[in-house]
Structure 1
Amino acid sequence: MKKSLIGLSLCIVQILYAQNYSQYVNPFIGTGGHGHTFPGAIVPFGMVQLSPDTRIDGSWDGCSGYHYSDSVIYGFSHTHLNGTGVSDYGDIMLMPTMGNPSLDSKEYSSKFSHKNEKAAAGFYSVKLDKSNIHVRLTATKRVGYHEYTFNNTGNANIILDLNHRDKLLEGEVKIIDDKTIEVFRRSEAWATNQYVYARIEFSKPMKVSKKEVNGKQEAGLYTGTKLALAFSSHVNKGEKINIKVSLSPTGYEGAGKNMLAEGRSSDFEAIRKQAQAEWDKELAKIEVRSDDKDKLSVFYTALYHVFTQPNINMDVDGRYRGRDNKLHTANGFDYYTVFSLWDTFRGAHPLMTLIDRKRTADFINTFIRQYEQGGKLPVWELASHETECMIGYHAVSVIADAMAKGIQGFDYEKAFEASKNSAMLDIFGLNAYKQNYFISVDDEPESASKTVEYAYDDWCIAQMAKILGKKEDYQYFMKRSQSWKNLYNPQNGFIQARKNGNWYGPFDPREVNNNYTEGNSWHYSYSVQQDIPGLISAHGGKEKFEQFIDAIFAAPDKTTGREQADITGLMGQYAQGNEPSHHIAYLYNFVDKPEKTDTKIKYILDNFYKNTPDGLIGNEDCGQMSAWYILSSMGIYSITPGLPEWETTTPYFDEIKIHLEDGTTRTITKNTERAELKKLGFENVKPVKDFKYARLTASPVIAADRIFDFSTKVEIIPLHQDDKIYYMTMDENDANKRKTFIPYKGPFTITKTTQVMAYTERSGEKSSVTTASFNRRPNYWDINILSKVTPQYSATGSLALIDGIRGDINWRKGEWQGYQGQNFEAVIDFQSPRQIKELSSTYLQDSKAWILMPKKVEYYASMNGKDYIHLKTIDNSIDPKDEKVQIKDFTTEILPTEARYLKVKAYYFGKLPEWHQGAGGDAYIFIDEISVK
């Protein structure tokens, strides 16, 4: 009987995997618009992504190397990023040509037509018009297969250009024999020190016919930072040259082993069918039934995009390059790379906990090794390097979600240790966050977003602690998880940044500025996934919170402030094209209005996902945009990863079958009960015993004029009406005095530069101390700024330039004034004539952020404000290509001069030059303090 059951089970599996779900995959979805996907040949989670490159400039819409609007192919490289917002990869590029070989990309590139281009799961083909060459590509996990058909007789060339796309730090080509070469490429882009080794095997003998080398040129060995070679051979009309390229992160030996394991076949069609079969096997995990073929294409391409990464990043023998740049061996798990965790923790990883628990454990084992070898869990890891891109420490979300759902295969204790380590570091505002339970603008840029995302991550760590029975850790991190309360403004219901003890203002929830990450206050004011009931209570109950959800969809669909290309797919201020909005429509479930969730979700599914090149409303972001579609179409979404249940909506398809790793199948129809959907796949997860934890008391707001003439009124405002306030003040006369906090009874006046400290208390729980400094002006000058400040870089107004408070090198804290595309000009009125001996104005350069030193600064003096004499011109001495963030005082001594008015004129750099990533855009001038002696 057992044998019969096993045989029947295997038969079912074989039939299941034999179904051709890959037929619905359209790799061109997302290659247009702002999807940033690529159409090339890959297998699920493969190391090789063999795809054409139509962009070599690092442009935003060319992050994957390909954009559907282009008509020129520069070559076919073996690594690509799927839907990111920063450019990298494009390693080991090959390009076939005919005739005399050229190593100039403008010469060896070729026009192509989409009419002669095809893409499918595991396959890509195109005709290169310039030399009439048909190209076909397929792949295994670690080997890329090329088939070039030369339709004319003549000299065939294969161009290998190691300077393709990103910066080559070190290159090497070894000629093993006339059919085999080995290649090493160490490069710098987003990953600043990436290692790739390759073994390349030609199907026929090829000779080096042209080379560009600035290093060694020995027998069969070429090195340098400028390195390109052409390999040539005569071909007859219709002749094919097949090429196999194996990759390795560890060395030539690894590339050789990978070739032996996956590159022995010379049958291109067999490898193509094998790649298709691998896709069919993965895609069959979710069966969708629909009469609409476009919807099937959207769904299965979405699943294809989710399975495109993370990418296996070890050799067949388990060897990999760790975060310490040393070689290690993975025992009992697969080591991966490309973790876009700020994006994927929200949907892509929760989806994997449902349909791929084994690989989820492998991801977490990778995280643990990266902690052990690199000092912390990954944030946005690429090619064994931490890019430090985006915010939070969201690897903890993936870990907590897996633990909460009972996934085994990794060390829970070690995972908790690694998670706690990330939360206890003193980087990216965490030092202030740990002390104050929030981050202010004064502490760190993107302070509002970091506060709420750290708070969610801390809740995740608390859930791990609860599972492991660590009561004190649970209580500590649960208190930290309430930090959002310190940025919740009860007067308007928004998550609002705080600066110098007060709310940051003027406040516009639509404004995109340096207080939020790729978004604005609308997007982050719902980012309390760990405590939705608490957020509802803060708003005053379900009815008011429902109105607040309604409001984001009803708001004007234009943002203000800085232009942010990532914010797309706007429904009011809801932005489906960027991740912070992805859970918001599901919040209607918490106010007993599931029908509103259903309406919004269906609208998004219908309108923002299409079977066209521009069929994604925003960046794919390594599978997150597609994971949202997959989950939502099944009627589920994880608002709070770390909680073993789904939020629900009406399923989108007529029937969906999910095949789980335990061999069971779950069937979903439009009539499936929401209660059944809520625990889908996690029905047997048992609740863990809870511990009590302390409620966080929010810190008070201190409001007064930061800069005042003679006096200012100070008001201290609690964020909860029942809180008692205690405060103390310190001015320059109190430096050596011992002072204590006293009860606050009402507003008070200060007449000196003063520091005010305050905290609140409720039911015995004290808040952190809010500290604010208020400065009496060091002078009584007036300033008339004749240039137009960029609104989000206005500091505290015009007086910021003469208030004696200097901004530091981290300009994102908001102490600098920014002027774009114009010279800076201002006139200071000293109110009465005074003698001048020294003049100074201070500027900042951050070349990557378009902020460059002025070309020169001129100083003029006047007694009447009309007739000016030129005092001095100071030329800039800092190279605009210098990417170091730095401050320079344009200071000069002059002969004693009497004047009432001083004019300062700084000449902006102009248009950004060709070498700059923002070429053609207008540079900024950033200025802070103008001083006179």
Structure 2
Amino acid sequence: MKKSLALFSLLVTQIIYSQNFSQYVNPFIGTGGHGHTFPGAIVPFGMVQLSPDTRVDGSWDGCSGYHYSDSVIYGFSHTHLNGTGVSDYGDIMLMPTLGNPSLNNQDYSSKFSHKNEKATAGFYAVKLDKNNIDVRLTTTKRVGYHEYTFNNGGNANIILDLNHRDKLLEGEVKIIDDKTIEVFRRSEAWATNQYIYARIEFSKPMKISKKETNGKQEDRLYTGTKLALAFSTSVKKGEKINVKVAISPTGYEGVEKNMIAEGQSNNFEMIRKQADGDWNKELSKIEVKSDDKNKLSIFYTAMYHVFTQPNINMDVDGKYRGRDNKLYTAKGFDYYSVFSLWDTFRAAHPLMTLLDRKRTTDFINTFIKQYEQGGKLPVWELASNETECMIGYHSVSVIADAMAKGITGFDYEKAYEASKNSAMQDIFGLNAYKQNNYISIDDEHESVSKTLEYAYDDWCIAQMAKILNKKEEYQYFMKRSQNWKNLYNPKNGFMQARKNGNWYEPFEPREVNNNYTEGNSWHYSYFVPQDIPGLIQAHGGKEKFEQFIDAIFSAPNTTTGREQVDITGLIGQYAQGNEPSHHIAYLYNFVDKPQKTEEKIKYILDHFYKNAPDGLIGNEDCGQMSAWYVLSSLGIYSVTPGKPEWETVTPYFDEVKIHLEDGTTKTITKATSKDELKKLGFENVKPAKEFNYIEQTAAPVIAADRLFDFSTKVEITPLNEKDKVYYMTLDDNDKNARKAFTAYKGPFTINKTTQISAYAERKGIKSSVTTANFNRRPNHWDITINSKVNPQYMAGGKLALIDGINGDINWRKGEWQGYQGQTFEAVLDFKSPQQFTKLSSTYLQDSRAWVLMPKKVEYYASMNGKDFILLKTVDNTVDPKDEKVQIKDFEADILPTETRYIKVKAYHFGKLPEWHQGAGGDSYIFVDEISAK
């Protein structure tokens, strides 16, 4: 009987895999607009992404190396990123040409037409117009296969340019024989120390016909940080040259093993069919039925994009390069790279828990090894480098979700230890977060987003602790998971930044600024996935929260503040093109209005995903944008990864079959009950034992004039009207200042520079202490600024330049004034003539952020405010190419000078030069304190 069942199961599997799901994949979806995808050849989760490069400038819409609007191909490289917002990869670039070889990419590049371009799952083809060469590409996991057909006879060249795209730190080419070379490339871009090795095999003998290097030039070895070679041979009309390229992150030994394992075939068509079969195997995990071929293309391309990464990052023998740059061997799991976790924890990883539990286990085992070798779990890992891009520590979400859903195969205790380690760091505002239960602008930029995302991650760690029966640690992290309450403003219902103990004003929820990550308050005010009932209660109940959800969809569909290209696909302020909005439409389910979820989800599925190059409404972000589509079209979504259940909506397709790893098949129709959908795939998971935990009391706000002339009124307000407030003042010059906390009874006045601390208490539970500093003006000067400040960088107004409070090296905290594309000029009025011997003004440089030191600063004096005499010029000594964030005081010692007015003139750097990523843009001057002594 068992043999019969096994045979039947095998037969069913073969029938499923024999269906041609890959025919619906359109790799061009997302290559236009802002999708940032690439059209080239890859197998599921493959190390090789063999694709054309039409962009070499690192531009935002060229992050993947290709954009559909382009008409020139520079070459075909073997690594690419799928839909990211930062440019990288493009390693081991080859380009076929005809005639006299050139190593200048303007010469060896070629025009092409989309009419002569084709892409399918695991295959890419194009005609290079310049020399009438047909290129076909396919791949295995670790070996790229090229076929070049030279439609004209003559001198054929294959260009290898190691300076393609990112910065070459070390390059090496070893000639093994006339058909084989080995290549080493160490480069720097987003990931600052990338290693890749390659073994290239030509189908016919080739000779070096041209070389360019600034290192060794021996008979069989070429090195340098500038390195390009042309390999040439004569060809007849119609002749083909095939090239196989194996890659490895570990070394020449690894790349040779990879070539032996996956590069022995000389049959291009067989490898192409094999790649197509690999895709059919993965795509067949979900069968959808539709008469609409466009919908089938959108769906299966979405699955294709989800399964494009993370990428296998080990050799066939399991050897890989660890986070400490040492070599290790994976035992019992596959090691991966490219973890865009801020994006993918939301939908891509939850989808994988349904479709691929084994690979989910491999991802988590990879996380654990990166923790052991690199000191912490990945945040945004790329090529064994931690980029520290984006925020949170969302590896813990992936781990908690797997544990909650009963996925095994990794060490739960070690995973928990690694997760807790991430939460107990003192970086990126975590120190203030742990101490104060929230992050303020004074502590760290993007303070609102970081507080909210850390709080969710802490809830995930608490769920792990619960599963592992760690009661005290569960209670600790559950308390931290409530830290969102400290940034929830009950007066307006928004998550609002706090500065110096008070709410940051002026407040506009549509404003994109440095208090939020790729978004604004609208996008983040719904991000409490760990405590949606608590958020509803804070709003005053389901009806009011429903109105608040309605409000984001009906708000004006334009943002204010900083231009943020990631915010796309707007319905009101809801932004489908960026991740923070992705769960919001499902929140209607929590207020008993599922029909509104139905309406919004169907609208998004219908309008924001198309079978076209611009068919993605925003960055693909390593599969997240597509995973949202896949899950939502199945009728499920994980609003709270870490809970073994889905939020539901009516399935998009009439019938869906999901083939799970255990051999079972789940069939979904529009009539499938919501209760059945809610536990889809996790029906047998038993919840862990519940523990009690303490409700957090939110910290009060302290309001007063931060800078005042003679006195200011102080008002302290609890965030919950039921809380009692206690406060303390500290003034070292005033013996009568309070040295202990006392009950707050109402507003009071201070007339000296004072520090005030306060906490709230409810039912014996104290909040964290809010501390604020209020400064009496150190002078009564006036200042007139003759330049136009950028409204994003005002530092609180013109007096910020003479308030005695110095800007922090982290300029995103908002203490600097920013002036773009103009010389800064200000006049200080001391109200009466005074004598000075020292003048200074302070500036900041962050070259990557377009902020550069002024070329020079001039100081002038005047008695009448009209006629100025130059006192001194201070020249800049900081190299504009220096990317270190730094502060410089342009100090001038002058002869004793009596004057009423001082003019400061700081000459801006000008347009950003060619070497800068923002070449042609206007640089900024950031200025803070101006002083005279």
Q: Distance in 1 between matches of 2:3 and 2:387?
A: 52
Deviation at 1:893, TM superposition (A): 1.2
> Can you list the C-alpha shifts for 1:7-36, whole angstroms capped at 9, x where unaligned?
111111001001000000000000000000
Q: Distance in 1 between matches of 2:717 and 2:134?
A: 72
Q: For residue 474 of structure 1, what is the amino acid of its counterpart? A: Y
Q: Distance in 2 between matches of 1:814 and 1:69?
A: 38
Query: Which residues of 2 match residues 640-789 of structure 1 at below 5 A?
Result: 640-733=640-733, 739-789=739-789
> Can you list the C-alpha shifts for 1:315-339, whole angstroms capped at 9, x where unaligned?
0000000000000000000000000
Partner of 2:614: 614
Deviation at 1:341, TM superposition (A): 0.1
Q: Secondary structure at the match of 1:639?
A: coil
**What's the C-alpha RMSD, in Å, of the aligned pairs?**
0.9
Partner of 1:24: 24
Query: Which residues of 2 match residues 479-494 of structure 1 at below 5 A?
Result: 479-494=479-494
| Cα pair 2:729 2:738 within 8 Å, conserved | no
Q: Distance in 2 between matches of 1:474 and 1:25?
A: 45
| Cα pair 1:32 1:614 within 8 Å, conserved | yes
Partner of 2:119: 119
Q: Distance in 1 between matches of 2:921 and 2:568?
A: 21
Q: Distance in 2 between matches of 1:581 and 1:86?
A: 20
Q: Distance in 1 between matches of 2:454 and 2:5?
A: 49
Q: Does 1:580 align with 2:580?
A: yes
Judged with a 3 Å threshold, the aligned counterparts in structure 2 of structure 1 residues 736 and 320 are, in CA distance, closer, same or farther, namely: farther
Q: For residue 31 of structure 2, what is the amino acid of its counterpart? A: T
Q: Distance in 2 between matches of 1:879 and 1:317?
A: 47
Q: Distance in 2 between matches of 1:867 and 1:256?
A: 77
State the TM-score, normalized to the length of structure 1: 0.99
> Can you list the C-alpha shifts for 1:232-269, whole angstroms capped at 9, x where unaligned?
00000010000000000000000000000000000000
Q: For residue 145 of structure 1, what is the amino acid of its counterpart? A: Y
Deviation at 1:399, TM superposition (A): 0.1
Partner of 1:254: 254
Q: Distance in 2 between matches of 1:788 and 1:486?
A: 35
Q: Secondary structure at the match of 1:903?
A: strand
| Cα pair 1:456 1:528 within 8 Å, conserved | yes
Judged with a 3 Å threshold, the aligned counterparts in structure 2 of structure 1 residues 594 and 179 are, in CA distance, closer, same or farther, namely: same
Q: For residue 40 of structure 1, what is the amino acid of its counterpart? A: G
Partner of 1:400: 400
Q: Secondary structure at the match of 1:733?
A: coil
> Can you list the C-alpha shifts for 1:613-633, whole angstroms capped at 9, x where unaligned?
000000000000000000001
Q: Distance in 2 between matches of 1:918 and 1:623?
A: 28
Query: Which residues of 2 match residues 193-212 of structure 1 at below 5 A?
Result: 193-212=193-212
Partner of 2:11: 11
Query: Which residues of 2 match residues 50-89 of structure 1 at below 5 A?
Result: 50-89=50-89
Partner of 1:915: 915
Deviation at 1:732, TM superposition (A): 2.7
Consecutive aligned runs of 4 or more in structure 1 exceeding 6 Å deviation: 735-738
Q: For residue 311 of structure 1, what is the amino acid of its counterpart? A: N
Which is further off, 84-93 or 913-922? 913-922
Identical counterparts, % of pairs: 83
| Cα pair 1:635 1:651 within 8 Å, conserved | yes
Query: Which residues of 2 match residues 411-426 of structure 1 at below 5 A?
Result: 411-426=411-426
Q: Secondary structure at the match of 2:887?
A: strand
Q: Distance in 2 between matches of 1:182 and 1:886?
A: 42
Q: For residue 908 of structure 2, what is the amino acid of its counterpart? A: Y
Deviation at 1:2, TM superposition (A): 2.1
Partner of 2:229: 229
Partner of 2:434: 434
Deviation at 1:809, TM superposition (A): 0.8
Q: Distance in 1 between matches of 2:487 and 2:198?
A: 51
Partner of 2:238: 238
| Cα pair 1:732 1:753 within 8 Å, conserved | no
Partner of 1:791: 791
Deviation at 1:501, TM superposition (A): 0.4
| Cα pair 2:823 2:906 within 8 Å, conserved | yes
Q: For residue 196 of structure 1, what is the amino acid of its counterpart? A: I
Q: Secondary structure at the match of 2:550?
A: helix
> Can you list the C-alpha shifts for 1:570-599, whole angstroms capped at 9, x where unaligned?
111100000000000000001111110111
Q: Does 1:862 align with 2:839?
A: no
Deviation at 1:186, TM superposition (A): 0.3
Q: For residue 310 of structure 1, what is the amino acid of its counterpart? A: P
Q: Secondary structure at the match of 2:792?
A: helix
| Cα pair 2:729 2:737 within 8 Å, conserved | no
Unaligned runs of 5+ in 2: none
Q: Distance in 2 between matches of 1:503 and 1:855?
A: 37
> Can you list the C-alpha shifts for 1:839-882, whole angstroms capped at 9, x where unaligned?
10000000000001111112122112222222222221211111
Judged with a 3 Å threshold, the aligned counterparts in structure 2 of structure 1 residues 736 and 385 are, in CA distance, closer, same or farther, namely: farther
| Cα pair 2:800 2:929 within 8 Å, conserved | yes
Judged with a 3 Å threshold, the aligned counterparts in structure 2 of structure 1 residues 736 and 717 are, in CA distance, closer, same or farther, namely: closer
Deviation at 1:609, TM superposition (A): 0.3
Query: Which residues of 2 match residues 268-283 of structure 1 at below 5 A?
Result: 268-283=268-283
Which is further off, 522-531 or 898-907? 898-907
Deviation at 1:41, TM superposition (A): 0.3
> Can you list the C-alpha shifts for 1:379-425, whole angstroms capped at 9, x where unaligned?
00000010000000000000000000000110100000000000001
Partner of 1:173: 173
Q: For residue 349 of structure 2, what is the amino acid of its counterpart? A: H
Q: Secondary structure at the match of 1:494?
A: coil
| Cα pair 2:705 2:774 within 8 Å, conserved | yes
Q: For residue 427 of structure 2, what is the amino acid of its counterpart? A: I
| Cα pair 2:609 2:616 within 8 Å, conserved | yes
Which is further off, 250-259 or 899-908? 899-908
| Cα pair 1:30 1:614 within 8 Å, conserved | yes
State the TM-score, normalized to the length of structure 2: 0.99
Counting matched residue pairs gives: 933
> Can you list the C-alpha shifts for 1:670-691, whole angstroms capped at 9, x where unaligned?
1111111111111111111110
| Cα pair 1:786 1:825 within 8 Å, conserved | yes
Deviation at 1:192, TM superposition (A): 0.4
Q: Secondary structure at the match of 1:732?
A: coil
Q: Distance in 2 between matches of 1:238 and 1:108?
A: 20
Q: Secondary structure at the match of 2:407?
A: coil
Query: Which residues of 2 match residues 542-581 of structure 1 at below 5 A?
Result: 542-581=542-581
Q: For residue 777 of structure 1, what is the amino acid of its counterpart? A: R
Q: Does 1:136 align with 2:136?
A: yes
| Cα pair 2:645 2:682 within 8 Å, conserved | yes
Q: Secondary structure at the match of 1:232?
A: strand
Q: Secondary structure at the match of 2:388?
A: coil
Q: Distance in 2 between matches of 1:61 and 1:586?
A: 30
> Can you list the C-alpha shifts for 1:758-788, whole angstroms capped at 9, x where unaligned?
0011001000000000000000011111211
Which is further off, 89-98 or 911-920? 911-920
Partner of 1:500: 500
Q: For residue 553 of structure 1, what is the amino acid of its counterpart? A: F
Q: Secondary structure at the match of 1:531?
A: helix
Q: Distance in 2 between matches of 1:732 and 1:556?
A: 50
Deviation at 1:737, TM superposition (A): 8.4
> Can you list the C-alpha shifts for 1:356-391, whole angstroms capped at 9, x where unaligned?
000000000000000000000000000001000000
Deviation at 1:5, TM superposition (A): 1.7
Partner of 1:364: 364
Q: For residue 399 of structure 2, what is the amino acid of its counterpart? A: I
Q: For residue 622 of structure 2, what is the amino acid of its counterpart? A: C
Unaligned runs of 5+ in 1: none
Q: For residue 16 of structure 1, what is the amino acid of its counterpart? A: I
Partner of 1:217: 217
Q: Does 1:451 align with 2:451?
A: yes
Deviation at 1:738, TM superposition (A): 8.3
Q: Distance in 1 between matches of 2:742 and 2:624?
A: 51
Q: Distance in 2 between matches of 1:799 and 1:511?
A: 23
Q: Secondary structure at the match of 1:836?
A: strand
Partner of 1:532: 532
> Can you list the C-alpha shifts for 1:802-833, whole angstroms capped at 9, x where unaligned?
00000121111111011111111111111111
